[in-house]
C-alpha cells in the first residue's frame, strides 16, 4: 500500500497514474460502445419495445443476482489480477459481436447473451476496482484520487456521446464496438504494470460458507455509525434519481418539445456541472468535511429538479426560455454529484478496513441497483396515471429525504480526518 502522506498531485503516483489512464480510456470508449449498443439494438436488430426492455435490463441482472457474492469474493482474491482478467475477458466477449454480425448470426437473443456476459464481467471489474484504489494511494489522498477519476468520467460523459455517434456513423454499430475491444486490451496492459503490495487474503476455514461473509459485510456496513446513514442516504438518492431520469427525457422531448439537439446540449450541461464539482470536491471536503460536502450534493439535487420544473409549458414560449431552466437544472445536478461523489467514495474507502472493502462496496452497490429498479417502475406508474411533471415533483421529495437523512445523522459532522 502507498504510504506517503505528503500532499501533492495524486497523478504523480505511478500506480494511480496507470489506474487513472485505464479508467479514463474505458470511460471514453465506453461512451462509444453505449451509442453503438443502442443503435445496434434499435436499428441493426430492429428489436421490439419488449425486446429493448429485456436487453436494457440484461446488463443490470448480474449486479442483482451476483453483486453480493462477487463483493465477498473480492475480499478473498487479489484485486489487481481480477481487474486485469476482467478486462481481457470483456475484450473477448465484445469481439464476438462483429464476428456474429459478419457471420449473419447476430440476433436479439445472441446479443442478449453477450450483454449478460459483459454485465457479469463489468460487475467483477467494478468490484475489484473500488477496493483496489485504497492500496494505490495514501488514504489522505483518496478524495483527490476519486476527484481525478470523476473529472475524467464527466469529460467522457460530455464528449463521448458525440464521438460515439460519429464513430457509429462512420463504421457502423457492430464494427464500432471493436474500439472498446482494443481499449480493454490496452487497459489490461496498463493495469498489469501496476506495482502494488496486495498480499493474498487470509484463507477461510472449510466450514466458513461465503454466505457467512456476505452477512458479515452487510452487518458491518449497516451497523457502522456513519457508513449506515451514508448508505441509507445513497439508496434514497438512487430511488429519486431513477424516478427523475425515467421522466426527464419524455418530459423534455414530448411535453416541452425541445428537440434532440437542445436535449443533447442540456445533458452536456450536466457533464459540465459534474466536472466543475469534481474540481472543487477536495477543497470542499477539507473546508466543510465529508458530511458537509455530501449534504451540499444532496441539497443541490432537489433544487436542481425544482429548477427543471420551472420550465414553462405554454406553446408560445420561446425555445430559449424552455431550455435555460433545463440546462441550469442539469448543471446544478451535475455540480452536486461532482462535489459529493469523490468525498463520499473517498470516505467509504478510508473508513472500511481492507478485509471489508469488497463487501462494503458490494452491499451498497447492490441495494442501489434495487432502488434504481424500484424507482424506474414507480416512475412508470406515476407518469402513466398522472404525468411526467408530477413524477419529477415526487422525485424532488425523495431527494429531500436523502438530504434529511444526512442532516439528522452523525454523518453530518463527519470529516476525513476522523478515520
Taking only the tens place, the pLDDT of each residue in 80-125 is: 999 999 999 999 999 999 999 999 998 989 998 998 999 899 999 9
Same domain assignment for residues 271 and 364: yes
* Rounded-to-integer distance, Cα 371 and Cα 2, Å: 35
Of 195, 230, 258, the domain-final residue: 195
> 228: burial class by Cβ within 10 Å (0-12, 13-18, 19+)?
middle
Helices (H) and strands (E) in the chain, counts: 13, 0
Same domain assignment for residues 154 and 241: no
Same domain assignment for residues 365 and 217: yes
Number of domains present in the structure of the chain: 2
Mean pLDDT, the chain, integer = 86
The model carries a pTM of 0.80
Question: C-alpha cell of 193?
Answer: 504494470
pLDDT confidence of residue 199: 64
**Could you tell me which of 347, 367, 242 has the C-alpha nearest to residue 295?**
347
Same domain assignment for residues 395 and 254: yes
* Rounded-to-integer distance, Cα 29 and Cα 114, Å: 18
pLDDT 10s digits, 29-45:
887 787 788 778 877 88
Is the confidence at residue 52, as pLDDT, over 80? Answer: no
Same domain assignment for residues 356 and 220: yes
Question: C-alpha cell of 121?
Answer: 464481467
For residue 37, the surrounding DSSP H or E stretch is: helix 14-39
SS3 182: helix
CA atoms within 13 A on the CB side of 44: 26
pLDDT 10s digits, 217-244:
999 999 999 999 999 999 999 999 988 9
Same domain assignment for residues 305 and 174: no
Asked if the structure places residue 205 within a domain, the reply is no
pLDDT confidence of residue 5: 41
* Rounded-to-integer distance, Cα 174 and Cα 4, Å: 46
Residues in CB range of 337: below 8 A, 6 or more apart: 273, 274, 277, 297
pLDDT confidence of residue 200: 59
Of 195, 221, 238, the domain-final residue: 195
Tell me the angle at which helices 142-171 and 173-192 cross, rounded to the nearest 10 degrees.
150
Asked if the structure places residue 2 within a domain, the reply is no
Residues in CB range of 37: below 8 A, 6 or more apart: 115, 173, 177
| Residue 8 binned pLDDT confidence (cut-offs 50, 70, 90) | low
Same domain assignment for residues 379 and 303: yes
We report the CATH number of the domain holding residue 280 as 1.20.1250.20
Same domain assignment for residues 279 and 169: no
* Rounded-to-integer distance, Cα 230 and Cα 94, Å: 36
**Could you tell me which of 63, 40, 35, 66 has the C-alpha nearest to residue 51?**
40
Whose cell is 464496438? That residue is 177
Same domain assignment for residues 38 and 89: yes
Residues 257, 311 contacting (CB under 8 angstroms) = no
Asked if the structure places residue 208 within a domain, the reply is no
Asked if the structure places residue 72 within a domain, the reply is yes
| Residue 315 binned pLDDT confidence (cut-offs 50, 70, 90) | low
Give me the domain span that covers residue 120. 10-195
End-to-end Cα spacing for the chain? 17
Residues 19, 194 contacting (CB under 8 angstroms) = yes
CA atoms within 13 A on the CB side of 195: 2
CB atoms within 10 A of CB 211: 11
Of 151, 166, 195, the domain-final residue: 195
Residues 416, 144 contacting (CB under 8 angstroms) = no
Choice among 58-62, 190-194, 236-240, 337-341 with the minimum mean pLDDT: 58-62
Asked if the structure places residue 207 within a domain, the reply is no
pLDDT 10s digits, 140-162:
888 889 889 988 888 877 777 66
Asked if the structure places residue 303 within a domain, the reply is yes
**In sequence order, what DSSP letters do the residues of 152-207 get, joined into one string?**
HHHHHHHHHHHHHHHHHHHH-HHHHHHHHHHHHHHHHHHHHT-----PPPPPPPTT
Question: C-alpha cell of 108?
Answer: 436479439
Asked if the structure places residue 203 within a domain, the reply is no
Asked if the structure places residue 204 within a domain, the reply is no
pLDDT confidence of residue 53: 61
Same domain assignment for residues 235 and 360: yes
Same domain assignment for residues 294 and 378: yes
Share of the chain above pLDDT 70, in %: 92
Same domain assignment for residues 166 and 233: no
Share of the chain above pLDDT 90, in %: 44
Amino acid at each position: 500500500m502507498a504510504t506517503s502522506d505528503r500532499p501533492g498531485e495524486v497523478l504523480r503516483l505511478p500506480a494511480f497514474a496507470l489506474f487513472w489512464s485505464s479508467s479514463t480510456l474505458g470511460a471514453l470508449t465506453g461512451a462509444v460502445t453505449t451509442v453503438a449498443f443502442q443503435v445496434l439494438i434499435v436499428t441493426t436488430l430492429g428489436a421490439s419495445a419488449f425486446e429493448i426492455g429485456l436487453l436494457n435490463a440484461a446488463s443490470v441482472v448480474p449486479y442483482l443476482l451476483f453483486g453480493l457474492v462477487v463483493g465477498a469474493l473480492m475480499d478473498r482474491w487479489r484485486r489487481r489480477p481480477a481487474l486485469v482478467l476482467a478486462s481481457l475477458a470483456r475484450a473477448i466477449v465484445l469481439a464476438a459481436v462483429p464476428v456474429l454480425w459478419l457471420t449473419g448470426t447476430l440476433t436479439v437473443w445472441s446479443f442478449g447473451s453477450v450483454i449478460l456476459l459483459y454485465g457479469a464481467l463489468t460487475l467483477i471489474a467494478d468490484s475489484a476496482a473500488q477496493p483496489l484504489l485504497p492500496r494505490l494511494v495514501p488514504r489522505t489522498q483518496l478524495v483527490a484520487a476519486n476527484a481525478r477519476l470523476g473529472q475524467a468520467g464527466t469529460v467522457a460523459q460530455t464528449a463521448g456521446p458525440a464521438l460515439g455517434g460519429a464513430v457509429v456513423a462512420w463504421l457502423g454499430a457492430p464494427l464500432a464496438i471493436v474500439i472498446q475491444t482494443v481499449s480493454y486490451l490496452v487497459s489490461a496492459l496498463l493495469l498489469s504494470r501496476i506495482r502494488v503490495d496486495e498480499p493474498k487474503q487470509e484463507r477461510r476455514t472449510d466450514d466458513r460458507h461465503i454466505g457467512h461473509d456476505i452477512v458479515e459485510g452487510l452487518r458491518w456496513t449497516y451497523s457502522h455509525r456513519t457508513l449506515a446513514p451514508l448508505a441509507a442516504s445513497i439508496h434514497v438518492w438512487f430511488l429519486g434519481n431513477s424516478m427523475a431520469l425515467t421522466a426527464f427525457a419524455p418530459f423534455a422531448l414530448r411535453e416541452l418539445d425541445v428537440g434532440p439537439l437542445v436535449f443533447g446540449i442540456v445533458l452536456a450541461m450536466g457533464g459540465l456541472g459534474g466536472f466543475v464539482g469534481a474540481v472543487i470536491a477536495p477543497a470542499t471536503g477539507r473546508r466543510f468535511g465529508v458530511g458537509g460536502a455530501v449534504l451540499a450534493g444532496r441539497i443541490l439535487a432537489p433544487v436542481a429538479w425544482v429548477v427543471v420544473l420551472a420550465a414553462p409549458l405554454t406553446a408560445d414560449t420561446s425555445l430559449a426560455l424552455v431550455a435555460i431552466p433545463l440546462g441550469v437544472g442539469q448543471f446544478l445536478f451535475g455540480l452536486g454529484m461532482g462535489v459529493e461523489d469523490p468525498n463520499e467514495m473517498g470516505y467509504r474507502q478510508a473508513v472500511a478496513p481492507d478485509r471489508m472493502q469488497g463487501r462494503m462496496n458490494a452491499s451498497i452497490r447492490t441495494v442501489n441497483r434495487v432502488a434504481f429498479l424500484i424507482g424506474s417502475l414507480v416512475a412508470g406508474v406515476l407518469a402513466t396515471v398522472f404525468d411526467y411533471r408530477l413524477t419529477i415533483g415526487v422525485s424532488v421529495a425523495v431527494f429531500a429525504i436523502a438530504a434529511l437523512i444526512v442532516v439528522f445523522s452523525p454523518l453530518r459532522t463527519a470529516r476525513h480526518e476522523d478515520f
